Amino acid sequence: MAPKRRRGSVVSRVPVVRGWSRPRGGAANVTAPRPLGASPHRRFKDPSLQRSFALFRAFLHEQDDPEGCYSLLARDSVDQVEAYDGPVAGRTVVDVGGGSGYFTEEFRRRGAQAYLFEPDMGELGERPPDGAVVADGYLLPLRDGAADVTFSSNVLEHVADPQTFLSELARVTRPGGLVYVSFTNWLSPWGGHEWAPWHYLGAERARARYRRRTGRAAKHTLGENLFAVHIGATLRQVRARDDVEIVSARSRYWPFLAEGVVKAPGLREFATWNLLLILRRCPP
Ligand SMILES: C[S@@+](CC[C@H](N)C(=O)[O-])C[C@H]1O[C@@H](n2cnc3c(N)ncnc32)[C@H](O)[C@@H]1O
């Protein structure tokens, strides 16, 4: 779940139409680019034990320090984009299902023209990044090929039709551009989200247990806003596509064998934890 933010301002409600629609206040309000290499945060080698420990520690503190947790994850994710595609400075980046905007803000800090598209006002929070657009990832109000980089972190398992969602990401990415997609697969120890790892005993039982233990209804319901996405099936479907090619299929967080673990049928469904797909948009 993406935490609520404490800063930012304008939210645009844009009509869902084809054709470039620049988010209100978007580029004009972008944080001034910082020279590359001047980022104050410590960069971890990816993959490495140090990096995985740092991310794991941050996840453990997600509830009491969401800012620290999501800022680190955002920096790490943008590092990953840059590792595959070079500096994002000056590029157009589209963050689809970006929640309250940590990733968009990090892309902007590094000089990208980054735009947040998020369908849920509740996820955007009270103070999303300037120019955030309320829009569904199935039908983005963008012309074909508008983005150099299309970014979607942990959204695929929340949409009922992942392949149609991927088609839309590919459509708005320019030929040769990069698509970054990650998701927590169903059989991952974290696949049940707030009711994990009890999802291994069945979603309904896990939800009921969550309610008993916390006194609150769980945020996610299988088949409504959380879907059982599997690594093997997803890889087969993506390989069969002609609009993207796979640059890398790897575990997003693993400290070693990040690509190796994804090559082991069966094991990968449990051990990958979170699949990161780095895709390149093919020419039409
Ligand atoms: C687990 S949150 C991830 C937020 C953020 N990307 C992150 O990694 O922290 C899932 C997000 O997917 C968004 N989402 C769900 N269905 C969507 C859709 N059809 N199009 C775009 N975003 C969607 C939700 O509103 C939510 O913000």
pLDDT of residue 147: 98
Atom of ligand 1 at shortest range from CA of 137: 20
Q: Is 96's C-beta closer than 6 angstroms to any atom of ligand 1?
A: yes
38 C-alpha to ligand 1 centroid (Å):
30
Q: Is 118's C-beta closer than 6 angstroms to any atom of ligand 1?
A: yes
137 C-alpha to ligand 1 centroid (Å):
9
Q: Using alpha carbons only, what angle is made at residue 273 by residues 201 and 60, rounded to the nearest 5 degrees? A: 90
156 C-alpha to ligand 1 centroid (Å):
8
Q: Could you read off the pLDDT tens digit of each residue along the chain, which spans 284 residues?
A: 455 554 333 344 433 333 323 333 333 333 333 333 445 567 899 999 999 999 999 999 998 999 999 999 999 999 999 999 999 999 999 999 999 999 999 999 999 999 999 999 999 999 899 999 999 999 999 999 999 999 999 999 999 999 999 999 999 999 999 999 999 999 999 999 999 999 999 999 999 999 999 999 999 999 999 999 999 999 999 999 999 999 999 999 999 999 999 999 999 999 999 999 999 999 98
pLDDT of residue 54: 97
Instruction: Identify any residues that bridge with 96 across adjacent strands, giving them in sequence order.
Output: 117
Q: Is 94's C-beta closer than 6 angstroms to any atom of ligand 1?
A: no
pTM: predicted TM-score of the whole model, two decimal places = 0.88
What is d(CA 118, CA 140) in angstroms, rounded to the nearest whole number?
10
Asked whether the CA dihedral 132, 115, 273, 83 is positive or negative, the reply is negative
Reading the block at residue 269, the tokens are 């469904």
pLDDT of residue 32: 36
Atom of ligand 1 at shortest range from CA of 182: 8
